[in-house]
């Protein structure tokens, strides 16, 4: 497992980093990484820096890591606690040992740029998104300025 984690970390930090994502491994806990995700350009999240913890199980890659935003984020598909729908980021039944952290981070970036109206995890955000997208985007910008700078 440690070789796999080292290889993925090297890929994300040196070989082929994702645009707008910075990864660091916890020096004291090999099973904990932190990602800082830049809000995608052209979205209401643009300009924000959102911290995400990635916690690996002991039996990784046979079991999926857990991804949780620790920076407050107002999004219909992310709970107020920063949790994702595991089906949306494919870390539940769809998880396969061949999947990588990078693939999940790409899905997370896509979620920030595109709301799935079938997966409401934050009912208040979803209701505002469906009723008035302009007000939703303004609320996102305000939350981003307040919490994600």
Task: Report which secondary-structure segment, H or E, holds 10.
Answer: helix 2-10
- Cα(26)–Cα(9) distance, rounded to whole angstroms? 11
Catalytically active residues are 85
Task: Report which secondary-structure segment, H or E, holds 77.
Answer: none
Task: Name the 3-class secondary structure at 42.
Answer: coil
List all residues 6 or more positions away from 45 whose beta carbon is below 8 Å from its beta carbon: 39, 73, 112, 140, 144, 148
- The number of angstroms, rounded, from the C-alpha of 6 to the middle of its chain's C-alpha atoms is 20
- Cα(126)–Cα(75) distance, rounded to whole angstroms? 8
Locate 77 and state its tokens: 């598909």
């Amino acid at each position: 497992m440690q070789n796999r984690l080292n290889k993925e970390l090297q890929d994300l930090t040196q070989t082929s980093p994702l645009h707008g994502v910075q990864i660091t491994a916890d020096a004291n806990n090999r099973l904990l990484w932190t990602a800082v995700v830049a809000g995608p350009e052209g979205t209401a999240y643009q300009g924000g820096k959102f911290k995400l913890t990635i916690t690996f199980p002991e039996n990784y890659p046979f079991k999926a890591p857990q991804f949780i935003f620790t920076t407050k984020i107002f999004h219909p598909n992310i709970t107020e606690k920063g949790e994702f729908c595991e089906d949306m980021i494919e870390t539940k039944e769809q998880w396969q040992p061949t999947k990588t952290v990078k693939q999940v981070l790409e899905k997370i970036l896509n979620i920030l740029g595109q709301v799935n109206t079938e997966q409401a995890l934050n009912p208040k955000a979803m209701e505002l998104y469906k009723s008035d997208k302009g007000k939703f985007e303004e609320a996102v910008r305000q939350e981003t300025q307040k919490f994600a700078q």
